Structure 1
């Protein structure tokens, strides 16, 4: 069983106490730093009324990045599948031709 850690993560000037697995700590701390960096960028670039608006924009940006990565992975998988199907077809044709010649 993994060991649990009690950590405090700060996001948008609020502290969130969490109990996490040891292997999750680094990722959570890194994510909170990225969120705070993004918050500062949005606050500097746009007239923001409150933190909720900035947090919503951060959530949208992170979700869009995840979605784009999934689309890229899907396209890569589709390309690989097509290549494998073409290779299978060529190998089948070669084997069929070899069988015809040996008979």
Structure 2
């Protein structure tokens, strides 16, 4: 297990001190940046809401993105399986007809 490092992350103008694995630091910082960018976008698109509303919108956006990514991963797995089956069929056909 690698050693945890302390990092300061700002989300929605609030500071959070986290302890994370060093190899996760870039991902955590990029995720926080994406969250803040989405909050800024939602503030522009939906004026008059409070920060909690914007955070809820970002949470829903992330959840939807993850669902879409899971669908794409499932589709990729299914496509890979079909390609493998086609390759096996082609190999068999080539073996049967020298």
Q: Identify the TM-score tier after normalising by the shorter chain.
A: 0.7 to 0.9
- For 2:49, what is the secondary structure of its paired residue? coil
Report the aligned-residue RMSD.
1.8
CA positional deviation for 1:97: 5.1
Rounded to whole Å, the distance in 2 between the matches of 1:76 and 1:63 is 20
For structure 2, the 5+ residue unaligned runs are none
Query: Aligned residue pairs: how many?
Result: 98
For structure 1, the 5+ residue unaligned runs are 99-103
* Segments ≥4 residues shifted beyond 4 Å: none
- For 1:9, what is the secondary structure of its paired residue? strand
Choose 1 or 2 for highest CA Rg.
1
* Structure 2 equivalent of residue 65 of structure 1: 65
Task: Compute the TM-score of the two structures, normalised by the length of structure 1.
Answer: 0.80
CA positional deviation for 1:82: 1.3
* Structure 2 equivalent of residue 23 of structure 1: 23
CA positional deviation for 1:55: 0.6
Task: Compute the TM-score of the two structures, normalised by the length of structure 2.
Answer: 0.83
